[in-house]
Every structure is written in structure tokens, then in C-alpha cells.
């Protein structure tokens, strides 16, 4: 259950965990389960749709993950690197697949590999970058698709 709760918290910062209990109360994975990893994967699949839509029922709303919009994101690493993304639209998150999950409940740690086979990221970019004596600049639309492994 710790892994499921951690995933929900990571995706829904600002939502009271108490409001999420109806969503997760039926997907508890006992720590002494023979295959806790398989249980966690099954639990995530069970709550996948509410996580993606941000609709937890009973009027409780979280972050909508598909589509996900980023109005503006700026990265400034000094004079050698500046980037700005605007009007970013991310779709295809809903089809995520858990490829690998490792759990260590004694240490309260888990590691997960997730693929997004239908992920599409579109938006506008502006870039200013210096590499030694080479100055690179650019701006315009970007479109990232086909990013999953074959």
C-alpha cells in the first residue's frame, strides 16, 4: 500500500490523502503478501483511470494528467543555457505501462520503470545555449512523439 500511496501523492500534490481513501481502500497490498510487487501493479491498474482523469468520486478532484497542460516552464542555468517552453500539451499518459517494479518494504523504497507508448508532447520553445565558442539559439513549435522503445 505504501507504494500505491506514494504514487498517488507524487501525482497529486495538494490533495488531502484522507480524500483519496475511498479510491485506495480496496487496493491494499499486505506487506506479508507472497507477491507484493504483483499486488502493487494490480492496484495501480485498478486506480489508473481515476488517477489520469483526476476524478476520485464523491466530488474529490485531483490533477488531470491526460491531457496535461503546462502554460510556461523556464530553465535558466546562467548565461550558458536558457530555455523556455510555453503552451505545452501532453497527451497519451493514460496508456502508461509498468514495465518493472522492485520493492523493498523494509527500507520503504520502490523503483519503477514506466513506459508511455502513446505519449505526445507539443508546444512552443525558445532556446539560448553556449557550448564553448558555439552559440546555439532557436525558437518555434516542437513536437515529441514516438519516444517509447520499440
> Tens of pLDDT along 69-96?
989 989 999 889 999 999 999 898 888 8
Residue 15 CB coordination number (10 Å): 17
For residue 19, what pLDDT is reported?
A: 63
According to CATH, what is the number of the domain 2-144? 3.15.10.30
> Tens of pLDDT along 46-58?
888 888 888 877 7
For residue 136, what pLDDT is reported?
A: 94
Task: Check whether 40 has a pLDDT greater than 60.
Answer: yes
For residue 2, what pLDDT is reported?
A: 39
Q: How confident is the model at residue 14 (pLDDT cuts 50, 70, 90)?
A: low
**For the whole model, what pTM was predicted?**
0.72
For residue 138, what pLDDT is reported?
A: 96
The residue extents of the domains of the chain are 2-144
Range with the largest mean pLDDT of 9-18, 122-131, 139-148: 122-131
d(CA 73, CA 88): 9
Burial class (CB in 10 A: 0-12, 13-18, 19+), 137: exposed
Q: How confident is the model at residue 5 (pLDDT cuts 50, 70, 90)?
A: very low
For residue 63, what pLDDT is reported?
A: 80
* Nearest residue to 7 (alpha-carbon basis) of 38, 31, 41: 41
* Nearest residue to 37 (alpha-carbon basis) of 99, 117, 115: 99
Amino acid at each position: 500500500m505504501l507504494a500505491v500511496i506514494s504514487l498517488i501523492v507524487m501525482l497529486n500534490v495538494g490533495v488531502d490523502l484522507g480524500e483519496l481513501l475511498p479510491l485506495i481502500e480496496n487496493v491494499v497490498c499486505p506487506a506479508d503478501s507472497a507477491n507484493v510487487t504483483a499486488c502493487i501493479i494490480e492496484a495501480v491498474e485498478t486506480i489508473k483511470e481515476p488517477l489520469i482523469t483526476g476524478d476520485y468520486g464523491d466530488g474529490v478532484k485531483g490533477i488531470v494528467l491526460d491531457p496535461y497542460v503546462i502554460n510556461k516552464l523556464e530553465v535558466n542555468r546562467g548565461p550558458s543555457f536558457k530555455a523556455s517552453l510555453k503552451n505545452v500539451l501532453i497527451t497519451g499518459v493514460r496508456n502508461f505501462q509498468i514495465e518493472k517494479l522492485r520493492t523493498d518494504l523494509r527500507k520503504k523504497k520502490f523503483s519503477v520503470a514506466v513506459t508511455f507508448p502513446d505519449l505526445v508532447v507539443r508546444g512552443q520553445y525558445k532556446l539560448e545555449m553556449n557550448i564553448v565558442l558555439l552559440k546555439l539559439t532557436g525558437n518555434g513549435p516542437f513536437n515529441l512523439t514516438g519516444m517509447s522503445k520499440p
